[in-house]
Amino acid sequence: MCIMKKHEKYIICCPNCGKQLLKSKDGSELEIECPRCHSELTVVHIGTELKLHERISEYTAESK
Q: What minimum distance in Å lies between the beta carbon of 15 and Zn ion?
A: 8
Residues 43 and 64: their CA atoms lie apart, in Å, by 24
* End-to-end C-alpha distance for the chain, whole angstroms: 23
40, 42, 38, 63: which is closest to 52 by C-alpha? 42
Q: CB nearer to Zn ion: give 28 or 40.
A: 40
Site string for Zn ion, 2-41 (x = CB under 5 A): ------------x-xx-x--------------x-xx-x--
Q: What minimum distance in Å lies between the beta carbon of 48 and Zn ion?
A: 25
